[in-house]
Every structure is written in C-alpha cells, then in structure tokens.
C-alpha cells in the first residue's frame, strides 16, 4: 500500500455503499510494530519443524512458550560434571524483550514460522511504527447500484428523453439522472464516467 492518502474505494462517495463489489489486491495487510500482546502466537505463526538445541545459531528463529524469539547470542557449554547445555540470549519478535535462556544439549526446539516482507514506512505514532504495503492492482465493477436519497420529484409526462436533474445518493455522490427518477429508486451508474446508465 502506498501512504495513507492512497486511493480507497470505500472513501469514494460514488462507491461507498454500493452493493457491487470491487477488488483491491494488496501484497498483505498493514503492519503495526511493535504488535500488541493478547493474541496467541500459535494461531498466527504455526510451527515448521522441530530441531535440537545443538542446531541453534545466531539468527535462528525459535518458538518458546508459544512466542517467537530470535537468537542474538549462543554458547555451547560442556562442563566437567553434569550434562552439556546451550546458553542463549534471545529477543522476542512481538514485544522486543531480550532474555537469557538455557537449553539442555540435544533438547527439541520448535522453529518459529517467520516471513520477511517489504513494507513502506508511513508514520510513527508514539512507540508504534506504522507500515503499509504496496498496492499491486485494483479493479472496479463497470457499474454500481445506488439508491437515490434526495431528488426533485418526477412530474407527470417526464420521459427518458425529457432532460435531467441532479440526484443525491445514499453514499453522498451526486449524479445527473432522468426527470422520471424518484427518491428511493435504485439505479445503475457507470464507474468509469460517473454517469447514469439505467434503473436497476
């Protein structure tokens, strides 16, 4: 998505309450960092596969207690007595917190499903950084069906060729319509020209 001023079908008076749908393709949804707590990480970041603590290295993304972590430092320790272990320093991808954690050597660890995407920085709001995706493409329907909210009443003898009058729709858009059109009627409007097509 481009910046917040980018084209939006929903914000257009002509298409705001249309029953016809338009499709807008984005690479993904807007991202807000840091993300708020509350949602379970397991529901949005499924496990890929399990590996052992012996496979840990700097940059590894692992899942611990249902949260995604990135390994910043690690050290394999084999003491003279006792079992070997791996000492790590990790950063939480969601909260940004950094902790130290020790794993038994050879213990199973789940890798976190972390994907990388290119975003466009939009603005900073306090401690949040707001990023938007790039718009790939958008496609509007050729016509939309709109309901007339306000228009001068039609007069007896008005015909399709008898001139036109401005009509205001429920979306706030104003379009010239034939004289016979009345409040509450549904009509079709060409999205390419913004002109009246016919009664719906």
Beta bridge partners of 26: 135
Domain at 28-133: CATH architecture? Roll (2.30)
Strand positions, DSSP E, 20-157: 23-26, 31-33, 50-52, 61-64, 67-77, 85-92, 98-104, 108-111, 120-125, 128-132, 135-139, 143-151
List the one residue out of 194, 175, 140, 164 whose CA is nearest residue 25.
140
Q: What is the pTM of this model?
A: 0.39
Place of tokens 């709001």: 125
Which pLDDT tens digit goes with each residue over 134-185?
665 667 788 999 999 999 887 655 555 668 899 999 988 899 999 888 999 9
CATH for the 143-199 domain, from 3.40.50.1220, 2.40.50.140, 3.20.20.10, 2.40.50.220 = 2.40.50.140
Structural domain spans, the chain: 28-133, 143-199
pLDDT digits (tens, 9 = 90+) for 121-132: 888 888 788 888
Helices (H), the chain: 41-44
CA count, 13 A, side-chain hemisphere, 93: 20
Distance of CA 77 to the CA centre of its chain: 44
Q: Per residue in 60-109, pLDDT tens?
A: 899 998 889 999 999 989 888 888 999 999 999 888 899 999 998 888 88
Residue 25 has pLDDT above 90, yes or no: no
Nearest to 112 by CA among 53, 58, 41, 30: 41
83 contacts 56 by C-beta, under 8 angstroms: no
């Amino acid at each position: 998505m481009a910046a917040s001023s980018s084209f939006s079908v929903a914000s257009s008076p002509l298409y705001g309450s249309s029953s016809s749908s338009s499709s807008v393709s984005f690479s993904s949804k807007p991202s807000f960092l840091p993300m708020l707590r509350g949602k379970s990480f397991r529901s949005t970041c499924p496990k890929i596969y399990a590996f052992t603590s012996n496979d840990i290295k700097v940059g590894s993304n692992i899942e611990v207690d249902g949260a995604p972590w990135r390994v910043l430092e690690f050290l394999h320790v084999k003491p003279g007595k006792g079992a070997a272990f791996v000492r790590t320093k990790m950063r939480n991808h969601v909260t940004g917190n950094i902790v130290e954690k020790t794993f038994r050597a050879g213990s199973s660890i789940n890798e976190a499903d972390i994907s990388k995407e290119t975003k466009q920085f939009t603005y900073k709001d306090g401690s949040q950084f707001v990023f938007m995706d790039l718009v790939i493409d958008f496609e509007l329907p050729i016509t939309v069906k709109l309901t007339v909210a306000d228009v001068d009443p039609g007069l007896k003898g008005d015909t399709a060729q008898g001139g036109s009058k401005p009509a205001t729709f429920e979306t706030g858009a104003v379009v010239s319509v034939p004289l016979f059109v009345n409040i509450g009627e549904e009509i079709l409007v060409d999205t390419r020209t913004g002109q009246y097509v016919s009664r719906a």
